[in-house]
Amino acid sequence: MVILALAFIPLFNLKEILFYTTIYFGVHLILVCQMDVPPFIYQEMTILAGLTCYAAALQHRSLLQTFISQQKLLAMNDQLNVIANTDQLTNLLNRRGLEEHLQNNEEHHFGYYSMILIDIDLFKLYNDTYFHQAGDHCLQQVAESIKKAVINITDIISRHGGEEFLILADNLDETQLIALASKIRNAVYDLRIKMNDEPESPYLSISSGLCQKKLAPGMAVDNELVSEMFCEADQQLYLAKSHGRNCIYFNNKIYY
């Protein structure tokens, strides 16, 4: 029996060996103290007790390893989900991440809910002039400026694609919404990113289209509502682009 036990030692760590050895000798002691049996039966029962403890040990280890594997798999899935939902260049939510966030965190609001749709003016020209590495750095700078300007932790910022960013803001009235959009526009312009190498080169700017909805009590903010707001904000953004860029449009009116 001792030889059998020694053969299984490499399969377990010290804590497991001590635990199951204690169980084995406990069973052994019960047999000695409480049972009056012939020696050959006692020997067989002792071996059976040892094998039972060993089987329990294997099952315990198997269950523990399965649990650990499941936890590792869940952690890996969470990590992959974060990667899939995050824009790797700016560390903002990407479009997929925004949609999944709204789907998994459907919230009910009361009052105003707003959207700011931002597009970097003439970004293709900037990219063609300074190439993609500079273009990527420019996107990162713009993203950081937006994050610093948006101080409400409940607001959602995403890179919606290319040079386009989207902000969802809660509890802002019309004046506050325009003020936030203006703050972002000024912050990006203050980066003083030149569009070309000419001395009189203009600085990089953004245009914004705004949309605001007054929600009824208990109304959910979901992908359907956001899609509707996006269409309206996109129309306002088109007006901003058509009227000289570097401006804000809201309810068909221009702001700076």
Cα(14)–Cα(32) distance, rounded to whole angstroms?
27
**76-89 average pLDDT score:** 82
Q: Between helices 39-85 and 14-34, what is the axis angle to 10°?
A: 150
Q: Which residue segment(s) compose the domain that 145 sits in? A: 95-255
Cα(245)–Cα(206) distance, rounded to whole angstroms?
7
Pair (140, 236) in one structural domain: yes
Pair (248, 147) in one structural domain: yes
Determine, yes or no, domain membership for 90: no
pLDDT of residue 3: 45
Q: Provide, rounded to the nearest whole percent, the portion of the chain with pLDDT above 90.
A: 52
Strands 164-170 and 248-250: unpaired
237 and 208 in contact (C-beta within 8 Å)?
Answer: yes
Identify the residue with better confidence: 44 or 218.
Answer: 218
Determine, yes or no, domain membership for 89: no
At 203, give phi and psi (nearest 5°): -90, 155
Tell me: the pLDDT tens digits for 110-119?
689 999 999 9
Report whether pLDDT(181) > 60. Answer: yes
Cα(34)–Cα(43) distance, rounded to whole angstroms?
15
Number of independent structural domains in the chain: 2
Determine, yes or no, domain membership for 114: yes
